[in-house]
Structure 1
Amino acid sequence: MGKMSSVSRGLLALIISSAAMLVAAFLAASAGADSGEREYVLIAREESLPPGLQQRVEEAGGTVVDAIPEIGAAVVRSGDAGFAERASGIRGVRAVVPDIEIRWIEPEHRGVAARIGDPPASGAEDPYFDLQWGHAAVDAVRAWAAGGRGAGVRVAVLDSGIDRQHPDLAPNLNEELSASFVPGEDYYVRPGVYFNHGTHVAGTLAAAENGEGVIGVAPEAEIVAVKVLSEFTGSGTFSGVAQGIVYAANIDSDIINMSLGGVLPSRGGYCVEGDCVSAREISELVNLMKRATGYAYREGTTIIASAGNSSFDRDRDGSQTVLPADLPNVISISATGPNGWALDPDTDLDLPAFYTNYGRSAIDLAAPGGNVDSNLRESGRVCTVAGVTDECWRFDLVYSAISGGWGWAAGTSMAAPHASGVAAIVIARNGGQMHPSQVETALRRSADDLGEPGRDPYYGHGRVNAAR
């Protein structure tokens, strides 16, 4: 790729400017469409919906917009200020709470922009594979040599959509099953060259080995894109995420990857852009998510989620709830990465990432997510790896697919798909059918026990290993 020319810098500026304009247009359109009505999540007392619900909701002044009968929930809409109180009195209804929209994608690394590159002059197959130090950390190549490539395993990527025409993703993408639970947005993203979170995650997990770009940890696994977050804002509703989880389970996904996280207070209320919910209502939204993950678990789907990028000590700070990482039946993944890998390829690949959440009570396993050496970054030093030239610190991030190209990012969002890729290899190696508890046990047993012996605050039960 070489140092960025003035043309390349101009292209990057155009990409960022265009993205900003698209976000502004999206928000303006959303505001213009506001009719004064709001959406609520109706949660039944049982994990099934009471009979005659639609008529009773209409009598209370609302409309049933969608239903999630598998977990006893429905999305309802009303412009009546007294609707929630009246609807809560319907027989068989546990609660009616505002379906707030929050930002689920945390900044992967502050100030890191997507970088667009041209294939190195070497002409090697999958030319960017040599930039993927994370595969060395999880011993992916040795797993591939033994036949473990994730074939026959279906992974639902619950995220902000996907570039369905990306050469690294199209071979493994099941377009027929892919779906969106974001109103007004398709499961696939708009065309163009820019950073898209879901595309980066999917590429890390299951980019095809096809002589182009990068290779996923499980290069023969099937990807299903389940859009639950807006590609413009990274935000989504609780009902949308819950619907995505249930849908992924219903299409027999072996794994759900959720590189997303919503942070809510464990006590007290919460407001986002003037939209507020009480402590009781937060508890009900958490209960909704518990029902969704519990349903997927019972249906045989392994759920893997990012632990969060806030550097929280989860053992000491009980004031926050991180969803979905804190939920039952979810495997929470922290992030690791090197400092100065471009300068020394033999450096430690498993340093705890500076941003990752940690704590014995919260972290199940660790995986490569990328790291940053601030001193190296400030130095401005330039390195060349596999024919690609850039600032040395950037090579410690995770390189993967983005919309229309490839780029770097770092975060527990990048760690989760490394772990999901390893899980896909584990499931494929065991005949393609494993209960989630068996998958978690296998991941723990095969993990490299780093840090303190046993369960560690940063590594949990260890950093995942695909070959053991």
Structure 2
Amino acid sequence: MDNKKLTPTKLVLPVMFAFAGLFGCSQDNELAEPSSQLSQSATSAVTGATNSKISFRSKHYIVLSTGEKLPAGLANNLAAANGQVTSLMTEAGVATVYSDDPAFAAKAGKIAGVRSVVRDLNIQWFNPEDEKIITLEDFGTPPASGDNDRYFDLQWGHAAIKASEAWNTGVRGEGVRVAVLDSGFDLDHPDLAPNIDMAASKNFVVGEQLGYALPGVGSHGSHTAGTIAAADNGIGIIGVAPQAKLILVKVLRDSGSGAFSWIMDGIIHATNQGADVINMSIGAALPRNGKFLDDNGTPDDPSDDFIVSDTKATQELLVALSRVTSYATKNGVTVIASAGNEANDGNVDKSLVHLPSGSTGVISISATAPRGWALNPYSTFMDHLASYSNYGTSDVHFAAPGGDYQYPGNEIVTIGGVRQYAYVFDYVFSAGSNLAPGTASYYWSVGTSMAAPHATGVAALIISKNGGSMNPAQVLAKLRESADDLGKPGRDPQYGYGRVNAFRAVTN
């Protein structure tokens, strides 16, 4: 499959009905709710969205040094202050510590070379129940399907960024390593397994494994990884960079929650494992006023005692994460993250800071989508700013396909043998997990979480074209010069420098 050519017209509708009964695929799944009945649930189903459920993590601390590196002997000094070191990010000047001593922060703050000690955060990054819009399951492994992987027709995002045209130049991501920081992954999914570097992959979530383990079809991590680098193997979907290698880093629980410190650990690990690109389809909107929930309290108690005000915590967490992302970029890693899904205008509302997209050196991606693509795949405009996407001149670097639920009609359409409401096809289709070995699952989802992987795939193609190694500043420059400049000329609040274009990125 490495040398096959895909013409632009084969991105959509080349064999609409031809393979409908050949692959043992269950196409009798129920139709999604009509769009007129879906507005409320669809809004909550946007993945990669920030969430108001942010709380201080009891007895867990983040320690920042005064310099870029941790001072010698810090672990011993923290132990003397009744702290148990859980992670030393020496290269970034950050450490994480557990302590049941209420006075630990005060004691540790007096250690020579320590800048600050703040509480770690727990964040509910997304709800996996919300993201399961509609699913497909695969039973059996069919032979290679020539130019058409079974569900490639559903991947309108690849058409929007001209992925197949980029592949036809011979650039498919070979020699590039992409780290995906996310929740659990379907490790034996036939579209993902060929490209996973298991030796470099790692789990940072206490009490869970790298593999996705929640019942039902889901797996936010599998979805994002599939968009980036699903293998071109004639089975299901194809990633934007189908020959790139995947370093899977689990930094969120399968339930969608995770500690702030796990993400920093994941970035350091990916960097040290030789990642060329890091994708973070995750996001948290931290209040600049520093008002957080405290998980020492009772979540059901509405009293003000459950709210902790700590402006310094916000400032220092920003510094900590920016140190880690700076370490990555200084070591040759291009870092990409979703811009967030609050439909927030960063030019007007500055009460929140979005992380990790707002951290130093991180490329932030807003989401685009068609409206009724399935009704006219060849000519439908696919670059509307998604209704939920955050935007703002300084908040967005580029746009990429993320899907949307704005099409109002209830027409039923068949694309590539799949029968669904037309609005469903405006979502992003990628890999999922149903916990059954040897059974491939897929689902549609919507969000800037889906946009970032498209941009990450293009970055991987750029680096591959350059021989497999490239300075992040050069990658950013190439993304800028090759993007389709939508909206106002130059950098604008909705699209940043433009919607990424894979073909131009490897040919300009």
Tell whether the structures are fold-level matches, with TM greater than 0.5: yes
Q: Deviations over 1:386-440 (max 9, x none)?
A: 1100111100000000014011001000000000001111111111111000000
Q: Kindly state the Cα deviation for residue 193 of structure 1 after the two structures are TM-superposed.
A: 4.4
Q: Kindly state the Cα deviation for residue 109 of structure 1 after the two structures are TM-superposed.
A: 11
Q: Indicate if the aligned counterparts of 2:277 and 2:334 stay in contact, CA closer than 8 A.
A: yes
Query: 3-state DSSP class of the match of 2:374?
Result: coil
Evaluate the alpha carbon distance shift between residue 277 and residue 158 of structure 1 in structure 2; reply closer, same or farther with a 3 A threshold. farther
Asked whether 1:401 is paired with 2:431, we answer: yes
Evaluate the alpha carbon distance shift between residue 389 and residue 117 of structure 1 in structure 2; reply closer, same or farther with a 3 A threshold. farther
Distance of 1:316 and 1:163 partners within structure 2: 40
Evaluate the alpha carbon distance shift between residue 144 and residue 111 of structure 1 in structure 2; reply closer, same or farther with a 3 A threshold. closer
Q: Deviations over 1:342-372 (max 9, x none)?
A: 1111210111111000111211000000011
Q: Which residue of structure 2 aligns with residue 30 of structure 1?
A: none
Structure 1 runs not aligned, ≥5 long: 7-35
Q: Indicate if the aligned counterparts of 1:109 and 1:409 stay in contact, CA closer than 8 A.
A: no
Q: Kindly state the Cα deviation for residue 44 of structure 1 after the two structures are TM-superposed.
A: 1.1
Q: Indicate if the aligned counterparts of 1:108 and 1:409 stay in contact, CA closer than 8 A.
A: no
Q: Kindly state the Cα deviation for residue 277 of structure 1 after the two structures are TM-superposed.
A: 5.7
Evaluate the alpha carbon distance shift between residue 212 and residue 44 of structure 1 in structure 2; reply closer, same or farther with a 3 A threshold. same
Asked whether 1:236 is paired with 2:258, we answer: yes
Q: Which residue of structure 1 aligns with residue 497 of structure 2?
A: 461
Distance of 2:289 and 2:191 partners within structure 1: 44
Q: Which residue of structure 2 aligns with residue 115 of structure 1?
A: 135
Q: Please tell me the root mean square deviation across aligned C-alpha atoms, in Å.
A: 2.2
Distance of 2:480 and 2:128 partners within structure 1: 26
Q: Indicate if the aligned counterparts of 1:119 and 1:127 stay in contact, CA closer than 8 A.
A: no
Distance of 1:237 and 1:191 partners within structure 2: 19
Aligned counterpart for 1:249 among listed residues 250, 266, 271 = 271
Distance of 1:371 and 1:109 partners within structure 2: 18
Asked whether 1:62 is paired with 2:95, we answer: no
Evaluate the alpha carbon distance shift between residue 112 and residue 251 of structure 1 in structure 2; reply closer, same or farther with a 3 A threshold. closer
Q: Indicate if the aligned counterparts of 1:108 and 1:412 stay in contact, CA closer than 8 A.
A: no
Aligned counterpart for 1:334 among listed residues 349, 366, 376 = 366
Q: Percent identity between the aligned chains?
A: 47
Aligned counterpart for 2:184 among listed residues 138, 158, 161 = 161
Q: Which residue of structure 2 aligns with residue 451 of structure 1?
A: 487
Query: 3-state DSSP class of the match of 2:450?
Result: helix
Q: Kindly state the Cα deviation for residue 156 of structure 1 after the two structures are TM-superposed.
A: 0.3
List aligned pairs for 1:133-144, cutoff 5 A. Answer: 133-144=156-167
Structure 2 runs not aligned, ≥5 long: 1-25, 32-56, 298-305, 435-440
TM-score normalized with structure 1 length: 0.88
Give the length in aligned residue pairs.
Answer: 434
Q: Kindly state the Cα deviation for residue 110 of structure 1 after the two structures are TM-superposed.
A: 6.1
- Report which structure shows greater RCO (CA 8 Å, sep ≥6): 2
Asked whether 1:296 is paired with 2:316, we answer: no
Q: Kindly state the Cα deviation for residue 111 of structure 1 after the two structures are TM-superposed.
A: 7.0
Distance of 2:420 and 2:109 partners within structure 1: 58
Aligned counterpart for 2:281 among listed residues 251, 259, 263 = 259
Distance of 2:477 and 2:494 partners within structure 1: 19
Q: Which residue of structure 1 aligns with residue 41 of structure 2?
A: none
Q: Which residue of structure 1 aligns with residue 402 of structure 2?
A: 369
Aligned counterpart for 2:317 among listed residues 256, 260, 285 = 285
Asked whether 1:411 is paired with 2:447, we answer: yes
Q: Kindly state the Cα deviation for residue 55 of structure 1 after the two structures are TM-superposed.
A: 2.7
List aligned pairs for 1:54-203, cutoff 5 A. Answer: 54-105=75-126, 113-118=133-138, 124=145, 125-190=148-213, 193-203=216-226
User: Match for 1:284: what amino acid?
Assistant: E
Q: Which residue of structure 2 aligns with residue 352 of structure 1?
A: 385
User: Match for 1:317: what amino acid?
Assistant: D
User: Match for 1:401: what amino acid?
Assistant: A
Distance of 1:204 and 1:230 partners within structure 2: 21
